[in-house]
Structure 1
Amino acid sequence: MAFFRTLGGKGSRPLSGDKMGLCKIEGMITDAREVTDFLRELREDDSVKGVVLRIDSPGGAVAPSQELYQAVKALAQIKPVVVSMGTAAASGGYYAAAPATLIVANSGSITGSIGVRAEYVNLQGLLEKLGLKTDLLATGKFKAAGSPTTPLTPEQRAYLMALIMDLHQQFVADVAEARKLPLEAVEKVADGRAFTGRQAQQLGLVDKLGGLETASATLREMVKLPEKASVLEGPEKKLPLLPRLLGATLSALAQALTDAPERAASPGSALILEYRQ
């Protein structure tokens, strides 16, 4: 058992005493499960008195960003959550931060960027130059909206814009509720603009300026934890046993072989809706 425990990587677990949690949200937000599972673990662990949420993300997909928001909100209702913004905590990254007890950002952190973006690639002109034509069959006039081989009709464009605006309104309403700001005040800054940490503080989107050390010290003061209190850090990056035994190179190869069939078989349009900077 001692041998297998050494394979677990960073994020060793203190066994006893009051602790501070440290949860990291890093990179593009495409799947929230690992982070939400760890946040639930921190919420249910009575020895964890408060949590620092370190965010370094430009945002990502809509639904995972909302799942992070809900998980942080549930945790903050039980124990203090202090956000520490790194290089960026924008769009979906800010969405995740909004329901925290307190938000700390570096003066040069990039945050805000409240809004929804959609990417639509039309390959029709390229296909015509190559002498290729496509026939698209669909069960309704909106089913093919966002296909890369046909231009959007006015009706399809209006339909997709309605989807985008509904997602945007959800984002704005959640930020206003979480930050206890008037809806109108959030709407004024929710035009996709990114802000520095200093600008965001002036707008009420951030509470305090500082780095991870400032956020950690603030949390320890809030929950009366000593400076040398244990830290429960995660989520751990979980890898299958065989790649851990054989090394990173084989791990990368195995992952590529695993992902390739999924990418090749993935259906759907080229339209991508995101809370992303």
Structure 2
Amino acid sequence: MTNPRHSFSARHPFLFGFSLLIMAVVLLWGATAFFNGKARVLFGAGSIGIVNVQGTITDSLPAVKFLRELRKDSSVKGVLLRVNSPGGTIAPSQELYLAVKRFAQVKPIVASFGTVAASGGYYAAAPATQIVANSGSITGSIGVKAEYASFKQLMEKVGVKPVQITSGPLKGAGSPYAELTPEQHEYLMGLIMDLHNQFVSDVASARKLDRKVVEKIADGRALTGREAKELGLVDRLGGFEDAVTLLKALCGIEGDVVVKEGPEKEKSLISEIFGMLGLKTSGSFSADGLIFSY
């Protein structure tokens, strides 16, 4: 009886030879990728994550979710937190702070500062295992501000008198159509100082600094990376490559590594249009028109 394989190779020598060639190429490609480090994870070398914190911090959820994913991934040995942010709204900055803190309790996380990592940007990175900044990176700016626009005089000029009905004298604090009363001003200052004290306490705890030391520089001042290092807010001076080298050393990794970078940004159509026009869409408003931010 004729062997089917021999029959096929005899009847279709070109196809048979081409099939063997394809199989050889696939095997060769797989072996090359394997020994070039793309499958190092099988040998325990592991991979690292790169988490980007870019621009004004208004939504922390994508980065928080990605950090949690990397924390639970046994193949990921550590994370590089790349920060290039001037700050942002308060709660998202605190959520990033907590996510970085949780990660640092399990695996090494090295923060690398780009052009700016100030206010909420610094807050988010404070609990990192190590912080690396360029000597010219702008950082610090520990403080809180509240902003609102006042249209009272404009309304008076056009003959419009806004009427506001509230359940209490403090509910309308920060309305753009009325001046702050002394009571409202005191109330808002109380909110600001409570948020400020949270910021100071968290930085002191994360950086293992005496709270009084942090209080002295927590007046909103911006610092260069070099100044921040002298004050204990930064561990080392260096760029992105230096931060990666440090992370690999902390993770016990030599040579090339597999990199998982994120989070992926999802932009709405309006954001895409604004971006093409060179405009930005950011900020978080309270119901009364106030913006609290770091």
What SS does the aligned partner of 2:255 have?
coil
Q: Is 1:226 the counterpart of 2:254 in the alignment? A: yes
Q: Which residue of 2 aligns with 1:71?
A: 99
- Are the counterparts in 1 of residues 58 and 89 from structure 2 also a CA contact under 8 Å? yes
1:29-77 alpha-carbon deviations (Å, 9 max, x no partner):
0010000000001100011001100000000000000000000000000
Letter in 2 for 1:120: Y
Cross-structure match for 1:273: 292
CA positional deviation for 1:252: 3.4
- Is 2:48–2:80's contact at 8 Å kept on the other side of the alignment? yes
| Structure 1 position 111, deviation (Å) | 0.3
Pairing 1:153–2:176 present: no
Paired residues, number: 245
Q: Which residue of 1 aligns with 2:214?
A: 186
- Asked if structure 1 preserves the Cα contact closer than 8 Å seen for 2:40 and 2:257, the reply is no
Structure 2 partner of 1:252? 272
Q: Distance in 2 between matches of 1:34 and 1:82?
A: 19
Q: Distance in 2 between matches of 1:69 and 1:231?
A: 23
Q: Is the 8 A contact 2:113 2:132 kept in 1?
A: yes
Q: Which amino acid aligns with 1:269?
A: D
SS of corresponding position for 2:166: coil
Closer/same/farther in 2, CA of residues 133 and 15 from structure 1, 3 Å limit:
farther
Shift of 1:213: 0.5
Q: Which residue of 2 aligns with 1:126?
A: 154
Question: Hey, what's the Cα distance between the residues in 2 that align with 1:146 and 1:250?
Answer: 29
Cα distance in 1 for partners of 2:138, 2:53 equals 15
CA-CA distance at 1:127 after TM superposition? 1.0
Per the alignment, residue 53 of structure 2 pairs with: 25
Q: CA deviation at 1:179?
A: 0.3
Aligned partner of 1:45 in structure 2 is 73
- 2:21 is matched with none
Deviation of the 1:227 alpha carbon: 3.0
Q: Among 202, 210, 226, which residue is 1:198 paired with?
A: 226
Quick check: which has more Rg, 1 or 2?
A: 2
Matched letter for residue 252 of structure 1 = E
Does the CA contact (< 8 Å) of 2:111 and 2:128 recur in 1? yes
Under a length normalisation based on structure 1, what TM-score does the superposition of the two structures give? 0.84
Letter in 2 for 1:210: G
SS in 2 for 1:60: coil
Structure 2 residue runs without a partner (length 5+)? 1-37, 276-281
C-alpha distance in structure 2 between counterparts of 1:222 and 1:181, whole Å? 22
**Contact 2:134 / 2:237 at 8 angstroms: preserved in 1?**
yes
Aligned-pair distance for 1:237?
Answer: 1.8
Superposed displacement of residue 135, structure 1: 0.6
Task: Give the structure 2 partner of residue 258 of structure 1.
Answer: none
Query: 1:16: Cα distance to partner?
Result: 6.6
Highest relative contact order (Cα 8 Å, sep 6+), 1 or 2? 1
CA contact (8 A) 1:217 1:227 kept: no
- Which TM-score applies when normalising by structure 2? 0.79
Question: Shift of residue 253 of structure 1?
Answer: 5.8
The 8 Å contact of residues 16 and 47 in structure 1, kept in 2 or not, is answered as no
Aligned counterpart, 2:114: 86
Counterparts of 2:232 and 2:56, CA distance in 1: 25
Cα RMSD between the aligned structures? 2.1
Distance 1:142 1:82, change over 3 A: same
Q: % of aligned pairs identical? A: 57
Structure 1 unmatched runs, 5+: 1-13, 241-248, 256-262
